Amino acid sequence: MKAWLQETKSLRRTVRRASSLGDTTTSGMTAPRFVNTYVFHDRLRTEGCQEEGARQLRASRLTHGPDGRGRRGTGRVMDIRILARGRHRAAPVATRREPMGITSHDVARLAGVSQPTVSRALRDDPRVSQATREKVKRAAQALNYVPSEAGRTLSTRATRRVGVIVTDLTNPFYPHVIAPLHDELSSLGYRMMLITERSDEAVAEEKLLDQSMDGVVLATATTDSRLPAQLERRGMPYVFLNRDTGRAGDFASVVDNEGGGRLVARELVALGHRRIAGVFGAANTTTGREREMGFRLALAEAGVGLPEGRVVRGAFEYDTGYRALPALLEADEAPTAVFCGNDVVAIGVLNAALAAGVKVPDDLTVIGFDDLPMASWEVFRLTTVRHDLRELSRQAARLLVRRIAKDVDPAGERLVLPTEFVPRATHARAH
């Protein structure tokens, strides 16, 4: 370390001598001098000198101006470097230069590895050993080095960013799938960018195809959306989360919606209900169509009908349920049970029943779908259909990363999670 300090002092004397050099402009006047000192030394490669070496490296990034207080001048620039061989080199530059920041090459010298190894280690590439990754990260921390995303993009042609399109953040369903999606993407080395619009059609194509993302998750797609075809045409990898288009070739993480609808129908029939109503999701969503289809098929198998007069379709939101129940109750034969397209719609029905003086479950059975955390709250204790919300998101993230890596079946992959009936306090036998 003593030799290091001696060389640094020698370098500073060289800088002071360089500062005394004249630099005459075209008008014959002497211009201010500017010297940028940039120091490396092979001792930085040794583990024991990392902290001190990092301090010396940061301290050596000095800028000397004519007033001696480190302000930038406007004249000749010199880079004076101590190389591995210990010789001084002066490189005159005709134009003004800003002091350089810490780069991955600096980290590589300090850690004693190659620059590509630094890049791989900082993104936790499994090809780099754990010991090397830790050594590189210690060096980066010592130098206060932050990797440049722009540089990574240029070198790898990958942004490590994924866009997630959601058109209805007010729906309590989506925070419960967005959070685990973010966590899984992060564990796979990707950053998540949330894109919110009123509909898929409102998402400008250029937002997704400007090479700022490697892939896209479509969380609120409809069967008539044109966005998937646009992404396919431009070669942008994407997957569906929760909803898809229902067409062959989709890459999707979804739920067994039809199977869940069948579970509810069979339970209601077993409880003796015959006047049954449905408040389903929109007809242009696969979740809405499939849950209704499974429900209808199972009722038909039991010889129970579901007339259109006892069916309401709408958005998967609270108001759909709250507004639907009064109209259903005004029918000549009011229903004794209502199956709702999701838990949020079911909560709207529960509140409407309370406002109308209808007792649940004594007068009316109400069943939801999804088993959101709020469904189990004591104030609701909603009977519903459960699926694994977290796994729904995790498998969507893994599928997208595989599709980005071209490690998928070109014919498409539709990953379907099973459902189960969850009895709580909003269902009872028909009277």
| Per-residue pLDDT tens over the stretch 231-266 | 888 889 999 999 999 888 999 999 999 999 999 999
**Rounded-to-integer distance, Cα 270 and Cα 290, Å:** 22
**Rounded-to-integer distance, Cα 229 and Cα 203, Å:** 13
Residue type, 309: G
What is the per-residue pLDDT across 284-322, written as a single tens digit (0 to 9) for each?
A: 999 999 999 999 999 999 999 999 999 999 999 999 999
For residue 63, what pLDDT is reported?
40
For 230, counting Cβ atoms within 10 Å of its Cβ (0-12 exposed, 13-18 middle, 19+ buried), the class is: middle
Q: Are 202 and 166 contacting, i.e. CB atoms less than 8 angstroms apart?
A: no
* Three-state secondary structure string covering the chain: CHHHHHHHHHHHHHHHHHHCCCCECCCCCECCCEEEECCCCHHHHCHHHHHHHHHHHHHCCEEECCCCCCCCCCCCEEEEEECCCCCEEEEEECCCCCCCCCCHHHHHHHHCCCHHHHHHHHCCCCCCCHHHHHHHHHHHHHCCCCCCHHHHHHHHCCCCEEEEEECCCCCCCCHHHHHHHHHHHHHCCCEEEEEECCCHHHCCHHHHCCCCCCEEEECCCCCCCCHHHHHHHCCCCEEEECCCCCCCCCEEEEECHHHHHHHHHHHHHHCCCCCEEEEECCCCCHHHHHHHHHHHHHHHHCCCCCCHHHEEECCCCHHHHHHHHHHHHCCCCCCCEEEECCHHHHHHHHHHHHHHCCCCCCCCEEECCECCHHHHCCCCCCEEEECCHHHHHHHHHHHHHHHHCCCCCCCCEEEEECCEEECCCCCCCCC
- Percentage of the chain beyond pLDDT 90 is 56
Quick check: 20 pLDDT over 90? no
Indicate the average pLDDT of the chain. Answer: 80
Cβ neighbours of residue 62 under 8 Å, at least 6 residues apart?
15, 36, 37, 70
Q: Which of 431, 430, 385, 425 is nearest to 270 (CA)?
A: 430
CA distances from 94 to 37, 75, 79 (A): 16, 9, 12
What is the per-residue pLDDT across 145-201, written as a single tens digit (0 to 9) for each?
A: 877 554 554 454 568 899 999 988 888 999 999 999 999 999 999 999 998 876 666
What is the per-residue pLDDT across 106-155, written as a single tens digit (0 to 9) for each?
A: 999 999 999 889 888 887 777 899 999 999 999 998 988 877 554 554 45
Quick check: 206 pLDDT over 60? no
For residue 30, what pLDDT is reported?
38
> Model confidence at 84, in pLDDT bands (50, 70, 90)?
very low
> Model confidence at 88, in pLDDT bands (50, 70, 90)?
very low
Global pTM?
A: 0.67
For residue 202, what pLDDT is reported?
54
> Model confidence at 23, in pLDDT bands (50, 70, 90)?
very low
For residue 262, what pLDDT is reported?
98
